[in-house]
Amino acid sequence: MSHRRFPGGRLVVATHNPGKLVELRELFAPFTHDLVSAGELGLPEPEETGLTFIANAELKARAAATVSGHTSLADDSGLCVTALGGDPGIYSARWAGPDKDFRHAMQRVETGLKAKGLKTSPAYFICALSLGFPDGTCETFEGRIDGTLTFPPRGTRGFGYDPIFVPEGFDTTFGEMDPAAKHAMSHRARAFAQLIAACFDA
Ligand code: ITT
């Protein structure tokens, strides 16, 4: 299958989440020198009305690309907890409330598990990355990492739900890991690897 390629030049990263922006800047540094965030450009944050990670990533990438006139990259991601039927899933950001308080969001996960008599659950992170072009077309890829949850939260690195997520094969949380170790395996890095292979020149 042939994919539309990044034409070079400016890449707008359509996120208002500072934690994601740090990771995406690190990942894309070798591929473009002109990376600017939607926040820096003052672009509006579109309402995430999609029902899948892919739909929301495409909606955000398309909105940024059509408004800015530049190729734009959006990330829609979240934590899916098996024992909670996949919640918070696409609502991961919303569980943190208007103050974006992830201690509260992690507590909500723990409370949900306790209500089922559980202390932990298998869980996975999903990341959909979408490259949007000013004419409204998109190229989209999804990555996943499996693990288990641990309480109380551990570590101050990363962002969001990282302090409760222990990736399979490890005993440290993403919140305790060196960022390079997270980048070697994360859902975002896995979606990124597919996007780079399909749409970017090495
Ligand atoms: P943008 O839409 O502006 O990019 P957002 O925070 O609203 O920012 P999402 O709708 O994709 O983004 O929400 C994803 C949430 O899932 C995010 O707020 C994080 O808390 C969580 N999340 C995603 N990737 C994560 C990661 O690598 N580590 C920890 N939590 C993560």
Asked whether residue 54 is domain-assigned, the answer is yes
Asked whether residue 62 is domain-assigned, the answer is yes
CB 169 within 8 A of CB 51: no
CB 123 within 8 A of CB 173: no
Asked whether residue 83 is domain-assigned, the answer is yes
Q: How many domains does the chain have?
A: 1
pLDDT band at 132 (very low <50, low <70, confident <90, very high): very high
pLDDT higher than threshold 80 for residue 1? no
Global pTM exceeds 0.85: yes
What is the pLDDT, as a whole number, of residue 15? Answer: 94
Q: What is the rounded distance in angstroms from the CA atom of residue 150 to the CA atom of residue 134?
A: 42
The phi-psi region of residue 117 (left if phi > 0; otherwise alpha if psi is between -120 and 50; otherwise beta) is left
What is the pLDDT, as a whole number, of residue 175? Answer: 98
Catalytic (active-site) positions: 76
The pLDDT mean for the chain works out to 96
Give how far the C-alpha of residue 123 lies from the chain's centroid of Cα atoms, to the nearest Å: 15
Ligand 1 atom nearest residue 100's Cα = 18
Mean pLDDT for the stretch of residues 9-22: 93
Asked whether residue 52 is domain-assigned, the answer is yes
Q: Is 16 in the pocket of ligand 1 (CB under 6 A)?
A: yes
Contacts of residue 96, defined as CB under 8 A and 6 or more positions apart, other chains included, come to 102, 104, 105, 160
What are the pLDDT digits (tens) for 35-70? Answer: 999 999 999 999 999 999 999 999 999 999 999 999
Q: Is 179 in the pocket of ligand 1 (CB under 6 A)?
A: no
Domain of residue 110, CATH code:
3.90.950.10
Output the residue whose Cα is nearest ligand 1's atom 9: 76
Asked whether residue 56 is domain-assigned, the answer is yes
Asked whether residue 130 is domain-assigned, the answer is yes
Output the residue whose Cα is nearest ligand 1's atom 18: 93
Q: Is 182 in the pocket of ligand 1 (CB under 6 A)?
A: no
- Dist. CA 57 → ligand 1 center (Å): 11
- Dist. CA 97 → ligand 1 center (Å): 13
Asked whether residue 1 is domain-assigned, the answer is no
Q: Is 17 in the pocket of ligand 1 (CB under 6 A)?
A: yes
Instruction: To the nearest 10°, report the CA torsion of 163, 168, 169, 173.
Output: 0
For ligand 1, mutation pick of 15, 16, 20 (most atoms within 8 Å of CB):
20
Asked whether residue 3 is domain-assigned, the answer is no
**Size of the chain, expressed as the number of residues it contains:** 202
Instruction: Provide the residue range defining the domain that includes 118.
Output: 11-199
- Dist. CA 170 → ligand 1 center (Å): 22
CB 71 within 8 A of CB 6: yes
pLDDT higher than threshold 80 for residue 124? yes
Q: Is 186 in the pocket of ligand 1 (CB under 6 A)?
A: yes
